Structure 1
Amino acid sequence: MKKANALFLLLTLFLAPLSYSTTLELNKPSLNSRGYLFEIHGSNTIGAHLAPTLVEQWLRHHQFETIERRKTTLTNEVEIWARTPASGMTIKVKIAAHGSSTGFLKLQSNIADIAAASRPVKHSENALFPSINLAQYENETVLAIDGLAIIAHPALNISHLTITQLGQIFSGEITNWADLGGPNLDVTVHSRDGNSGTFDTFKALVLSRGYSLTEEALRYESNEALSRQVAMSPGAIGFTAFASIGQAKVIAIVDGESLPMPPVTTSIATEDYPLSRRLYLYQANTENNYALDFLSFVKSQAGQRSVEQAGFVSQNLSEVQIPPNEHMPQGYRFLVSQAHRLTTNFRFVPGTKQLDNKALDDLERLSNYMNRPENQTREVFLVGFVNKQSNEFRAQILSEARVQSVKNKLRLTGVETNAMTGYGELNPVSDNSDERYALRNQRVEVWIK
Structure 2
Amino acid sequence: MKKTVVLLMVLTLTLALAACGQNNKGNNSGNAAPGSSEASESPASELKGSLLATGSSALQPLVDQVSKKFMDTNKGVSIQVQAGGSGQGLTQVSEGQSDIGNSDVFAEEKLDADKAAELIDHQVAVVGMAAVVNPNVAVDNLTKQQLVDIFTGKVTNWKDVGGNDQKIQIINRPSSSGTRATFEKYALGQKTEDPKGSIQEDSSGTVRKLVGETPGAIGYLALSYLNESVKTVKYEGVEATVDNIVSGTYPVWAYEHMYTKGEPNEVAKAFLDYMLSDEVQNSDVVELDYIPANQMQIKRDAQGNITK
Instruction: Mark yes or no: TM-score above 0.5.
Output: yes
Structure 2 SS opposite 1:186: coil
| SS of corresponding position for 1:302 | helix
Distance 1:118 1:239 in 2: 14
Which residue pairs with 1:347 in the alignment?
A: 299
Q: Secondary structure at the match of 1:122?
A: helix
State the partner residue of 2:193: 212
Partner in structure 2 of residue 149 of structure 1: 130
SS of residue matched to 1:212: coil
What is the aligned partner in structure 2 of residue 310 from structure 1?
288
The residue that corresponds to 2:56 in the other structure is: 43
Cα displacement string for residues 386-406 of structure 1 (whole angstroms, at most 9, x for unaligned residues):
xxxxxxxxxxxxxxxxxxxxx
- 2:153 is aligned with 1:140: no
On the 8 A contact 1:153/1:233 being kept in 2, the answer is yes
TM-score, structure 2 normalization: 0.77
- Give the equivalent residue in structure 2 for 1:244: 225
Write the letter of the residue equivalent to 1:40. A
What is the 5 A alignment of 1:111-260? 111-123=97-109, 125-129=111-115, 132=117, 134=119, 139-209=120-190, 211-246=192-227, 247-254=229-236, 260=237
> How far is the alpha carbon of 1:346 from its aligned partner?
3.8
CA 1:93/1:301 → structure 2, altered by over 3 Å: closer, same or farther? same
**Residue correspondence of structure 1 range 301-380 to structure 2 within 5 A:** 301-304=278-281, 305-315=283-293, 317=295, 344-347=296-299, 349=301
Q: Read off the aligned partner of 2:101 and give its amino acid letter.
A: A
Residues 185, 41 of structure 1: alpha-carbon distance in 2 compared, 3 angstrom cutoff: same
CA distance in 2, matches of 1:194, 1:26: 47
1:312 Cα deviation (Å)? Answer: 2.2
1:98 and 2:76 are equivalent in the alignment: no
Q: What is the root-mean-square deviation of aligned Cα atoms in Å? A: 2.4
Q: Against the structure 1 CA distance between its residues 207 and 303, is the aligned structure 2 distance closer, same or farther, given a 3 Å change threshold?
A: same
Structure 1 pair 287–211 and aligned structure 2 pair: CA distance change class (3 A) = closer
Match of 1:275 in 2: 252
**Residues 253 and 171 (structure 1), Cα distance of their counterparts in 2 relative to 1, 3 Å cut:** same
Q: Offset at 1:230?
A: 0.9
* Aligned residues of 2:182 and 2:253 also touching (Cα < 8 A): no
TM-fit CA distance, 1:30: 4.6
Partner SS, residue 111 of structure 2: helix
Q: Distance in 2 between matches of 1:269 and 1:30?
A: 38
Cα deviation 1:91-136 (Å, max 9, x = unaligned)? 4112121111111222122222211001111255153537x454xx
1:4 alignment counterpart: none
State whether residues 269 and 314 of structure 1, in contact with CA within 8 Å, keep that contact through their aligned partners in structure 2. Answer: no
d(CA) in 2 for partners of 1:26, 1:239: 48
- Deviations along 1:132-162, one digit per CA (max 9) or x if unpaired, are 454xxxx212221111111011122222111
CA distance in 2, matches of 1:188, 1:346: 35
Are the aligned partners of 2:185 and 2:191 in contact in 1 as well (CA < 8 Å)?
no
CA–CA distance in 2 between the matches of 1:179 and 1:287?
Answer: 51
Please name the residue that 1:293 is paired with. 270
Closer, same or farther in 2 for the Cα pair 1:175/1:105, shift >3 Å?
Answer: same
Counterpart Cα distance in 2 of 1:293 and 1:115: 16
Query: Are the structure 2 counterparts of residues 223 and 124 from structure 1 closer, same or farther at C-alpha, using a change threshold of 3 Å?
Result: closer
TM-aligned CA deviation for residue 233 of structure 1: 1.9
Q: What is the identity, as a one-letter code, of the residue corresponding to 1:248?
A: V
Cα separation, 2, equivalents of 1:43 and 1:345 = 24
Q: Structure 1 128/41 Cα, relative in aligned 2: closer, same or farther at 3 Å?
A: farther
Alignment match, 1:416 = none
Which protein shows a greater Rg? 2
For the structure 1 residues 54 and 272, does the alpha-carbon distance in structure 2 shift closer, same or farther, using more than 3 Å as the test? farther
Distance (whole Å) between structure 1 residues aligned to residue 179 and residue 168 of structure 2: 21
- Which structure has more relative contact order (CA 8 Å, sep 6+)? It is 2
CA contact (8 A) 1:39 1:93 kept: yes
Structure-1 residue corresponding to 2:38? none
Q: Deviations over 1:155-208 (max 9, x none)?
A: 222221111110100111001111112101111111112221111112222444
- Equivalent positions of 1:389-428 (< 5 A) are none
Q: Deviation per CA, 1:36-66, whole angstroms, max 9, x where unpaired?
A: 2x2211111222x211111123334xx33xx
- Number of residue-to-residue matches in the alignment: 264
Do residues 110 (structure 1) and 90 (structure 2) align?
Answer: no
Residues 1:52 and 2:64 are matched in the alignment: yes
For 2:106, the aligned partner's letter is P
1:232, distance to aligned residue in structure 2 (A): 1.7
Percent identity, aligned pairs only, is 21
Give the Cα separation in 2 of the matches to 1:118 and 1:124: 11
